[in-house]
Structure 1
Amino acid sequence: MNEQIHSGIQKLSAAIGQKSAFSLRLQKYGVLIAFILICVGISIMSPNFLTVTNLLIVVRQITINAMLAFGVTFVIISGGIDLSMGSVVAVAGVVAASFAHPGSYPLIVPLFAGLAVGVLIGAFNGFVITKGNVPPFIVTLGTMTIGRGLALIFSGGRPISNLSDSFGYIGGGELFGIPFPIVILGIIFVLCLVLLKKTVLGRYIYAVGGNEEAARASGINVKKIKIIVYTLCGGLSALGGIILASRISTGQPNVGVAFELDAIAAVVIGGTSLSGGIGTMTGTLIGALLIGVIGNGLDLMNVSSYYQQVVMGSIIIGAVLLDSIRRRNLSS
């Protein structure tokens, strides 16, 4: 009798273990599976979807969002949030464009100026959050408004045009037939992936987001890590702003509105936990691609932009619900 009970317990434990393993695999690869299924579904409904031209259009369209999403992935994994990214896009684009007139400065000057603005805003966010012990939501909400104001002040409220051909190449050129923004995106993705997965800094970011007190007790300089992740986010947002200004051939002070929401949506859809400590750059890239593919597919099927907003909002809510379920499973 005891042997039968013992055997039954073993079988039950094995079944539970298999279910848990399947659940973990589903959580890990769920976004990728969803992405593949959606691509297949759209390609069936619209034969033009899987053409090389259209796929390049999709990737090029998500370049800015993915750039911002990579930056805020560092922030969210560390347990923070950044709402100032859209404003950084605007002010960095305006500053870069003001130094990019034909015959004025070498290309390195507008690039450096635009990136410097983003880095400074990001560092300011991190400094106030850590030194002032102010919630990230409040600080970055404030810098979102400050950044937008700076963009309007610097540009006088008007677009800055007449940009050089070399600056225009950043967002409109090609390298071996591949749009240059996609090349930049690929390079930034690899760098962010290596930084997060293969470096001590990456491990510290996960540690801070997973348990800040434990990370501090382990000797990690938590404040320094937070300043670094916000600085990275600001720099990548500025790079996105430079690419956008180059693509549209003007520095527009009003661009970037709600860009931060799209970036955060890509990160959450990609499996990064809003509670911190969990997330990958690969997941973020897939999340950004998923948003781009759905938007492109709906355009190809002539679905109204109003309905597209409803679809995107539903996807974001679904991703947050999945994140909540995943955290409950991990804690149980």
Structure 2
Amino acid sequence: MDNTNNTKPGLQLGSVGLRYLKEGGIYAVLFILLAVIIIQEPSFLSLRNLSNILTQSSVRIIIALGVAGLIVTQGTDLSAGRQVGLAAVVSASLLQSVDNVNKVFPDLGELPIIGVIIIVCSIGAVIGLINGIIVAYLKVTPFIATLGTMIIVYGVNSLYFDSIGASPVAGFDPRFSEFAQGFLRFGTFRLSYLTFYAIGAIIFMWILWNKTVFGKNIFAIGGNPEAAKVSGVNVPVTLLKIYALSGVFYGFGGMLEAGRIGSATNNLGFMYELDAIAACVVGGVSFAGGVGSIAGVVTGVLIFTVINYGMTYIGVSPYWQYIIKGSIIIFAVALDSMKYADKK
């Protein structure tokens, strides 16, 4: 007697369940975590907390947008957090108030904010170019290349930090404080300037990814580098550009983070790269390359910020937060690997 028909519904049901797990499993886990937070503390759902979450997300979105393009090309950047820290210390030391008794450079007058933005973004672009050269021309895997530059950048930042006094750089020019901490009020709801900067970065990257030849080349390289090369894409130059652009985003993000916090040390930016990478993966940017969207990156950052902020809000130990975040990252990458295996 043929039992094939009896087993098919079960197999189909299992197949459907596995497909839904791969596509939406990570969101289900995060939704459960959010539900637990709200049940524990219903006051979490407030306009004030929404404002704080958007503010905290803004700089992380800018950093994640820089990392996302690299992941699309089957790369990554472990130096992102240290680049953020370097930009934070440099910008903080250049934008202190002229009447600050602890001013790092006493003879330095008021610098235009746009000038400092150009300086830190240029530093980030140079570091990004170095990463790009190592990856594109020396053929070092992105993980190892950026691991090396991560250590180097931290060393450079620490040397600079020690040379200017080895104490938190604070006491900023009021213009800089307003630039990074200012907000618009809509009734009882406050929307920070940082959110508008993040929106600008989102629009820029969406246009770059979806409306330019450069964006198409990024996805072509991520999908199949050899096929992209045969199609006429200059793979090394494209990689140089995307790594340099990522450095620009880290530089701007680091400057904003210093202004948001109100001070900077050489340890600022620690682990930021892992948060950015995790947010990208949760948002659907595949390590297999060639897959990702700006909306997904933003969603991933917002989800992680809500979870982080929510766990802190209900008093979860920071050590448990590390365990939970690490588990989420592993789960997200595992699901991504399963989806990639299916495509192969």
Q: TM-score, normalised by structure 1?
A: 0.87
Q: C-alpha distance in 1, partners of 2:116/2:168?
A: 16
1:3-41 superposed Cα distances (whole Å, 9 cap, x missing partner): xxxxxxxxxxxxx99999998787666666665565455
1:123 to partner: Cα distance: 1.3
Are positions 1:123 and 2:118 aligned together?
no
Of 315, 322, 330, the residue aligned with 1:309 is 322
- 1:159: which partner in 2? 168
In 2, the alpha carbon distance for the partners of 1:274 and 1:252 equals 32
Matched, 1:175 2:176: no
Query: Which residue identity does 2:219 align to in structure 1?
Result: Y
Paired residues in the alignment total 321
Once the two structures are superposed, residues 18-69 of structure 1 have per-residue CA deviations (whole angstroms, 9 ceiling, x without a partner) of: 9999987876666666655654553333211210101111222223322221
Distance 1:60 1:277, change over 3 A: same
Q: State the distance in 1 between where 2:302 and 2:214 align.
A: 27
**Shift of residue 252 of structure 1?**
1.5
Task: Say whether the 8 Å CA contact 1:173–1:179 is kept in structure 2.
Answer: yes
Tell me what 2:335 maps to: 322
Distance 2:321 2:264 in 1: 28
Q: Report if the CA contact (8 A) 1:91-1:253 is conserved.
A: yes
SS of the residue corresponding to residue 89 of structure 2 reads helix
Which of 36, 54, 59 is residue 49 of structure 2 equivalent to? Answer: 54
Which AA in structure 2 matches 1:280?
S
Instruction: Give the letter for the 2:210 counterpart.
Output: K
* Structure-2 change in CA distance of 1:161 and 1:144 (3 Å): same
Matched residues in 2 for 1:128 and 1:118: separation? 15
Instruction: From the superposition, tell whether residues 100 and 142 of structure 1 become closer, same or farther in structure 2 (CA, over 3 Å).
Output: same
- For residue 149 of structure 1, report the CA deviation from its aligned partner: 1.6
For residue 144 of structure 1, the aligned residue among 140, 150, 158 is 150
TM, length-normalised to structure 2: 0.84
The answer for the alignment partner of 1:227 in structure 2 is: 240
Q: Is the 8 A contact 1:31 1:287 kept in 2?
A: no
Please tell me the residue identity of whatever aligns with 2:192.
Answer: P
User: In the alignment, which of 167, 170, 185 is matched to residue 198 of structure 2?
Assistant: 185
1:319 positional shift: 0.2
Task: Tell me, in whole angstroms, the C-alpha distance in 2 between the residues paired with 1:294 and 1:228.
Answer: 33
CA contact (8 A) 2:72 2:291 kept: yes
Contact 1:35 1:286 in 2 (8 A): no
SS of match in other structure, 1:178: strand
TM-aligned CA deviation for residue 104 of structure 1: 2.3
Structure 1's unaligned 5+ residue stretches are 1-15
Identity of paired residues, percent? 35
Name which of 62, 70, 81 aligns with 1:75. Answer: 70
Q: Which amino acid aligns with 1:326?
A: K
Gaps of 5+ in 2: 1-10, 98-108
What is the root-mean-square deviation of aligned Cα atoms in Å?
2.7
Residue correspondence of structure 1 range 141-290 to structure 2 within 5 A? 141-156=147-162, 158-176=167-185, 177-290=190-303
CA distance in 2, matches of 1:328, 1:131: 29
- Taking the aligned partners of 1:161 and 1:297, their CA distance within structure 2 comes to 28
**Aligned partners of 1:94 and 1:155 also within 8 Å:** yes
Corresponding position of 1:6: none
